[in-house]
Amino acid sequence: MDNDLKDKEDALEKEISEERGKLSTDRMDISFGELINLYKNGELIIRPEYQRLFRWTSKQKTALIESILLSIPIPPIFVAEDKEGIWELVDGLQRVATFISFFGEFDSTTENRWKLEAGGLIKNLNGFDIDTLPSKYKISLKRAVCRVEIIRASSNSRIKQELFERYKTDNDVNK
């Protein structure tokens, strides 16, 4: 191997190592009911003013609720933790807002307590809302687990911003 290539490899390894050291992450699985509680208690901050606006159709929102009822895996949400331990939503706005608003707990202009449509697999969801859905399914929804990827407060703020920009761009393309 020539010296130029070896020097480039060494520089690459050093740079990757330094950047990895600036990021502290964790993950946990929590119930959707706990997500609602975190939001209601001001421990989960949703700032749609710098995220995409709510874009999901009634069909997409129904598909999320149907997926949770059927235990179909859904993508994780990403949060950034501040120095006080408060989580700010970085990615997952549509999913989190959909779930919270279905339960009538979203304090925004988005519609709360909306009605489900016929699902892709469960046609009989049509017309149900949180008030008319059988109790065992409400409980099942609240107990269902969501993966949360956490960017810890100790992470470099430039890295946090970089991650937000990457997720935002990816979501705008894919959704």
- Chain segment 16-31, per-residue pLDDT in tens: 888 777 778 889 999 9
pLDDT band at 91 (very low <50, low <70, confident <90, very high): confident
Exposed / middle / buried, residue 54 (Cβ in 10 Å: 0-12, 13-18, 19+): middle
Residues sharing a CB contact under 8 Å with residue 123, sequence separation 6 or more, in sequence order = none
pLDDT given for residue 173 in this prediction: 38
**pLDDT tens sequence across 125-139:** 999 999 999 999 999
Structural contact between residues 101 and 110, judged by C-beta atoms closer than 8 angstroms: yes
Q: What is the pTM of this model?
A: 0.81
More confident of the two residues 71 and 169 = 71
pLDDT given for residue 21 in this prediction: 72
| 155: DSSP letter | S
Lowest mean pLDDT segment, chosen from 21-35, 50-64, 70-84, 125-139: 50-64
